[in-house]
Structure 1
Amino acid sequence: MNETFIPDSNSTKRKWYVIDCQNQKLGRLLSTIVPLLTGKVKPYYHPALDIGDCIILINAEALTLGGTSDFRKFHVYCPGRPGSSLKQVLNNLPQQIIERSIRCMMPNGYAEKNLAKRLKIYEGPNHPHIAQNPIELNLDQFEFFNYNNDI
């Protein structure tokens, strides 16, 4: 008889990761953050359980959004509604831009509301989470998230 292993909340310990946003693109960064927040990179992932890790983003002001400079200044809120759909977003709010993007990429329900709370975003290189012993994650050398290989 097959038995499926479902981890308890006591058996999993959350890891803390530090990611430097210096010269990183927003889309590539978000596609690596969301699996870590949801726990999809773990071998014992189960969609009904919250086994994700905590993430600390530093140097958020140095994040590149890609494209032209107009992409940085405008955000479409309600597509298809003329006149009010294009709103101006200030360049000095990188935390708000990252949080909105993460929330849109999360699955609906519990994950959308609660998993983004484990994401800590700081504009400078310093953060107050040294006591959690965070692991510094270099996205260029991390094997699972390596996008530099051209296929």
Structure 2
Amino acid sequence: MNKTYLPSTTSLEPKWYVVDATEQHLGRLATQIAMILRGKTKPIYTPSMDTGDFVIVVNAEKVAVTGKKRTQKIYRRHSGRPGGMKTETFAKLQSRLPERIIEHAVKGMLPKNTLGRNLFTKLKVYAGPDHPHQAQKPEVLTLKTIAGA
């Protein structure tokens, strides 16, 4: 009988990737980022381990959505107090905190447990083209989220 392969934590070498979100579709971008964070693109993927890489997303303010989502998609948060529900459309949130849109989309695609919370810390999202992670020598990763492009 074959044994399940479990990579040792010392053998894992996480890479750093930079993804440009300019004119990328939000959902398709988020699924590919979530796959990289989980490590599903690697042959050593193990569901119960953190085998993923770090992802830096730049130009989050330029992410695109299709249809009427810009005006109809609503983001909700609650303060925990009675009547404390706050709602905000995609357009308003994009002008106020564009990083939160990508973070929210990717977080929903990660496991809802301790592993998912640890994986989420490997995601770094920035509104503009600059990021403070040059020392990690990130590789530029081009994702095609637009059909035919």
Cα distance in 1 for residues equivalent to 2:104 and 2:127: 16
Name the Cα RMSD after superposition.
2.4
Contact 1:106–1:112 under 8 Å retained in 2: yes
Match among 104, 122, 128 for residue 126 of structure 2: 122
Q: State the Cα distance separating 1:5 from its structure 2 match.
A: 2.1
Q: Considering Cα pairs closer than 8 Å and 6+ residues apart, tell me whether 1 or 2 has the greater RCO.
A: 2
Written as runs of structure 1 = structure 2, the 5 A alignment for 1:128-139 is 128-139=132-143
Cα distance in 2 for residues equivalent to 1:118 and 1:19: 13
Written as runs of structure 1 = structure 2, the 5 A alignment for 1:1-150 is 1-68=1-68, 69-71=70-72, 74-75=74-75, 87-89=87-89, 90=92, 91-92=94-95, 93-140=97-144, 148=147
Which segments of 5 or more consecutive residues in structure 2 lack a partner in the other structure? Answer: 79-83
Return the TM-score normalized by structure 1. Answer: 0.81
Cα distance in 2 for residues equivalent to 1:118 and 1:126: 17
Contact 1:25–1:65 under 8 Å retained in 2: yes
1:5-49 CA deviation, whole Å, 9 max, x = no partner? 210010010000000001101001001000100111111111111
Cα distance in 1 for residues equivalent to 2:39 and 2:125: 19
1:57-106 CA deviation, whole Å, 9 max, x = no partner? 0011010122223135x33679xxxxx98822423211112112222111
Q: Secondary structure at the match of 1:48?
A: coil
Which segments of 5 or more consecutive residues in structure 1 lack a partner in the other structure? Answer: 79-83, 141-145
Counterpart residue type for residue 16 of structure 2: W
Number of aligned residue pairs: give it. Answer: 139
Cα distance in 2 for residues equivalent to 1:75 and 1:7: 38
Identity of aligned residues (%): 38
